[in-house]
Every structure is written in structure tokens, then in C-alpha cells.
Amino acid sequence: MYVAVKGGERAIENAHRLLANARRGDQNVAEVTLDQISEQLGLAVDRVMSEGSLYDRELAALAIKQARGDLIEAIFLVRAFRATLPRFGASEPVDTGAMRVQRRVSSTFKDIPGGQILGPTFDYTHRLLDPALAEGFMPEVPATAEAATAPTPRVTDILGRAGLIESSPRSEDGASVGDLTREPLNFPAARDLRLQNLARGDEGFLLAMGYSTQRGYGRNHPFAGEIRFGEVEVEFFAEDAGFAVPLGSIELTECQMVNQFKGSATEAPCFTRGYGLAFGQSERKTMSMALVDRALRARELGEEATAPAQDEEFVMSHSDNVQATGFVEHLKLPHYVDFQSELGLLRKLRQEFAKANAPHTMKEAAE
Amino acid sequence: MDAVTQNNNQQAQRKAAMAVLAHAEASEIAARLRTLALPGHQDLREPENGLVMLRGRVGGDGAPFNLGEATVSRAAVRLASGEVGFGYTLGRNSEKARLIALCDALVQSRDFSASIERDVIAPLRERLMIRRKQAAAETAATKVDFYTMVRGEG
């Protein structure tokens, strides 16, 4: 039974006022602007867009500011915002092969068409704190070189042409695409739903799950076939215009993981693959996602599924940090009545215990 | 030229214009449009913000899946001469959607299609290409040149 308890309104109101002040911090320090967050904390914005499942840099920056830099709180704010807008429909699937690449590396082939392009990366930095960044740092103008006009085909497409890797699963034109924001999740879940779940899943959770496969809990022998980051064009079929209209471009990171073979009496052995895709520059996220995507294909590939990362119900039910934080953090809300009944039960149990042990204790005392 | 081909040509032209406009700032489009003597026009549909579910493909080239949503603004504008234009853009800038819709209507208008291309789309396209070329050049400078150490066995 729930008992309504009133009270605490003024305390709540004042707590929120105090929060607004704590968020602002020392008012002698300049206020951070959304542009500053978007431009200078860009990877935090990328993460909030990915896991908030909403591509809008300005809103993600606002959410980060409002959440005082707590990214899971910011993701929560963005998810709540998306529920306030109508959905016009779904875009045409983006073509990552036509990406204007800003970074593109492969750990499987040194000489890939289009080359290894490092782009803006933390790789090969020494991870030493740089005091020069503390204030007034002006970076050098970026170096330039003549850009090649040659295309940068996906590494998996090159392997695919030689039949060395399995091809991506196709679907019929016009087949419906699963959407876990519209229909409740059922298991077993198809690959489209699994990828949607992983794309908005918590980076830390996916990192740990991916790492667990490398440490032997569902090992799948991965190579980073290719990681690419850059800009892709988005088109949307507009009913009113009667054709697919360009909406502009978004930044994406894609990871193609190449894994050990499958084959059968009728099919020649070939590499298998796992796939990762996320908004912005989200390399750790897409690599982890690709590892977990591959692990979750255990059943389909006839592998023994014994590890947590291969258990789709386990992975998909715990990957969402908004759901997870909601359930964990609800424990701090008032549970007074629940607790009273537990307390009543415990007192009764203790009385029974005391009664059962009473003669024994008296005898001991007499001796 | 038959009607179907003509229609396809115009559609390609509209799409090409939209592809440029979607990448421009609302203020840039507005500034360019101010150089033209615009015909009378009205909102056919008030600008509206909403969401579009962005889709990727499994493995980059396979079956589609839902990646996550994006904010989108859209509008429709009608010229006094009857042409109807549609404006769609990522983000929540309704003024930009309206300006794109206006441009789309002008692209379809016999009297304005040449001047809108010359005075609005072409200069914006040029700026976009300069930005992309600069970004591509900066990216190209980070391309790895491998060289092989020659072993001393001759």
C-alpha cells in the first residue's frame, strides 16, 4: 500500500536554487558558453549525442552545461527532450563508403587504397599532461598536403571482392526496420535491433563487455579491419517534395572488426565480422560495439555461447545507461513505508529468536 | 525534351541546390537573397521542428538499421506565381528551413531559376568547396608514408 506523504516542497525548491548556484560556481569566473562546450569539449558532445540518441550539437552542449558535466545526466536530458518532438520519418541509409574521411586507419593492411590517414587523434601522443594548455594556448596552423582524389573504399569491401570475408546481411527492399524506441524489446532480437541498442548503449559498459571477449570470455580473435571517421551526407525522402531531399551532413565513426573464420562442408572458410557505428568521433565506442556485435552473433555462427558478452538478453538489458541509472538511483528516493514493513518483520524475527534462545541463555547465566 | 526528362532535370537541379543550402548558415542565405528583387511569396506551411531517424547499414553496405535520431526543421513556401518550394535541414533553425523552401520555389520559377543559381547557390557552393578543400588538405597532411628499411644483406 502506498501512503501519500506531503512535505519537503520548500526544501526541494531551495535545493534546486542551491544546485543552480553550484552549477554556476564562482561567479568571478567567466560563464562557459555552449559554443565553447561544442568546440572545445567536442568529444563529450559526441558521446552525449550518441548515447542520447539525438544528433544535435547545440542541444548536447546545453545538456552538458545543465548537467554540470555529468554526461549520463546530460544523456538523460537529451533523451527526455527527444520525446517532445514529432518524428517526420526515417532517413535514407547513410553511405559510409562515400564518407569525406578525416581519419581512416586499418590494422590489417598497410597499403590500403586511399592510405592510412591519422587525422586528429590521441594515438601516439605521450599522455603527459601539457602545462602549456593551461592558459592562452595557440595551436600551430594545421599542415596541409595535396589531397588525393582517389576514393577510400571500405577495407571489408576489398576483402569481400576476393571472397575472403562474409558479406553483410541484406534485406528485402521496403522490409521494416526494427525500432526499439517504438516496440518493446523481445528476445531473441534481430541484428538491426541489436545494433540500435549498442549504438545508444553506454560506452563504459560496451568497453568492459568488449574487453571481456579479448580476455577470453567469448574470444573471437578480432582485428580492426578499418576505423574511419568523417562526414556523411544525409537524405530524407520527403513525401511533399516527392524525392529524397538533402538534409546536410553528420559526423560518424565506423569500425569494421574482422574476426576468425567460419565455414562448412558446403561453404569455403572466410573471415567473419562485427560492426560499430556512432555519432561524432567515437572510436573507443565503435570498437567496443563491433566486438560486442560480433560476440552476440555466437548463436547465428554456431558458436558455444557461454560468456556474458554473447548473451544478448544480458547485454541488451544492461547497456542503456538511462535505464540503468534510473533503477539504481531510484534507491535514494523515499522508501519509508517499504522499509517500515521490513523493520516490523525483522523485529518479529528477533523476538522469535530471543524466545527460542531464552532458556539456554538463562541456564548459562545460572552456571 | 519529353516531360519526364524535364521533370528529372529540374529535380536534379533542386536537389543540387538543396545540397548546398543545407550546408550554409541561415544568415549567409539571407544575405545572398537580399541581392535579388524577390517576387511575392507566403508560407504554405509554417516552419516546424521535428525528428528524423537516421539509418545506417549493417557492415556499412548491408540491411538498414536505426542508428539514432536527428533534429530537423522543415517549411514550405509558395510564390505568388504558384511555384511551391520545400525546405528541409538538420537542426532546429526554422528560419533556415523557410529560406531553403523559398530558394527551392525560386529554382523552379522560370523567371528566377537563372538568377538564384548565379547569385545565391553558386557563391554558396564555392564557399562550401573552399571549406571542404581546406579540410581535405589538412587531412591529407596526416597520411602515413611508409618506407621499408633495407636489410644489409644485399
Tens of pLDDT, residues B66-108: 999 999 999 999 999 999 999 999 999 999 999 999 999 999 9
Residue A293 has pLDDT above 60, yes or no: yes
The ipTM assigned to this model is: 0.94
Cross-strand bridge partners of residue A256: A226, A275
**pLDDT (0 to 100) of residue A43:** 98
User: Which among A156, A248, A279 has the least Cβ separation from residue B89?
Assistant: A248
CB contact under 8 A, B64 and A56: no
Q: Which residues of A touch B55 (CB under 8 A)?
A: 90-94, 177
Q: Which residues of B touch A94 (CB under 8 A)?
A: 54-57, 67
How confident is the model over A238-261, as a mean pLDDT? Answer: 96
Residue A1 has pLDDT above 70, yes or no: no
Band the pLDDT of B5: cuts 50, 70, 90. confident
CB contact under 8 A, B60 and A82: no
A319 lies within 8 A of chain B by CB: no
Band the pLDDT of B3: cuts 50, 70, 90. confident
The DSSP annotation for B15-60 comes to: HHHHHHHTTS-HHHHHHHHTTS-PPPEEEEEEEEEEEEEEEEEGGG
CB contact under 8 A, B90 and A55: yes
Mean pLDDT of chain B: 94
Report the percent of chain A where pLDDT is more than 90: 81
Contact B68, A53 (CB under 8 A): yes
Q: Which residues of B touch A145 (CB under 8 A)?
A: 137, 140-141, 143
The DSSP annotation for B49-114 comes to: EEEEEEEEEGGGTSSEEEEEEEEEEEEEEEETTS-EEEEEEESS-HHHHHHHHHHHHHHH-TTTHH
Domain coordinates of chain B in residue numbers?
3-124
CB contact under 8 A, A240 and B134: no
Q: Which residues of B touch A273 (CB under 8 A)?
A: 59
Tell me the whole-structure pTM to 2 decimals.
0.93
**pLDDT (0 to 100) of residue B152:** 63
Domain coordinates of chain A in residue numbers?
9-82, 96-120+149-168+179-326
What would the pLDDT profile of A136-159 be if each residue is shown by its tens digit? 899 999 999 998 888 888 889 888
Q: Give the best residue of B54, B73, B131 to mutate against chain A (max A CB count within 10 A).
A: B54
**pLDDT (0 to 100) of residue A360:** 63
A259 lies within 8 A of chain B by CB: no
Measured between CA atoms, the residue of chain A closest to residue B61 is A168
What would the pLDDT profile of A223-238 be if each residue is shown by its tens digit? 999 999 999 999 999 9
Residue A4 has pLDDT above 70, yes or no: no
What would the pLDDT profile of A300-327 be if each residue is shown by its tens digit? 999 999 999 999 999 999 999 999 999 9
Instruction: Please state the three-class secondary structure of chain A as a single string.
Output: CCCCCCCCHHHHHHHHHHHHHHHHCCCCCCCCCHHHHHHHCHHHHHHHHHHHCEECHHHHHHHHHHCCCCHHHHHHHHHHHHCCCCEEEECCCCCHHHCEEEEEECCCCCCCCCCCECCCCCCCCCCCCCHHHHCCCCCCCCCCCCCCCCCCCCHHHHHHHCCCECCCCCCCCCCCCCCCCCCCCCCCCCHHHHHHHHHCCCHHHHHHHHHHHHCCCCCCCCEEEEEEEEEEEEEEEECCCCEEEEEEEEEEEEEEEEEEEECCCCCCCEEEEEEEEEECCCHHHHHHHHHHHHHCCCCCCCCCCCCHHHCHHHHHHHCCHHHHHHHHHHHHCCCHHHHHHHHHHHHHHHHHHHHHHHHHHHHHHHC
What would the pLDDT profile of A189-203 be if each residue is shown by its tens digit? 999 999 999 999 999
Mean pLDDT of chain A: 93
User: Which among A169, A243, A246 has the least Cβ separation from residue B19?
Assistant: A246
Least confident of A59-63, A124-128, B54-58: A124-128
If one counts every other C-beta atom within 10 angstroms of the C-beta of residue B77, the result is 25
Band the pLDDT of A54: cuts 50, 70, 90. very high
- Measured in residues, chain A has a length of 367
Cβ contacts of residue A311 below 8 Å, gap of 6+? A305
How confident is the model over A250-263, as a mean pLDDT? Answer: 93
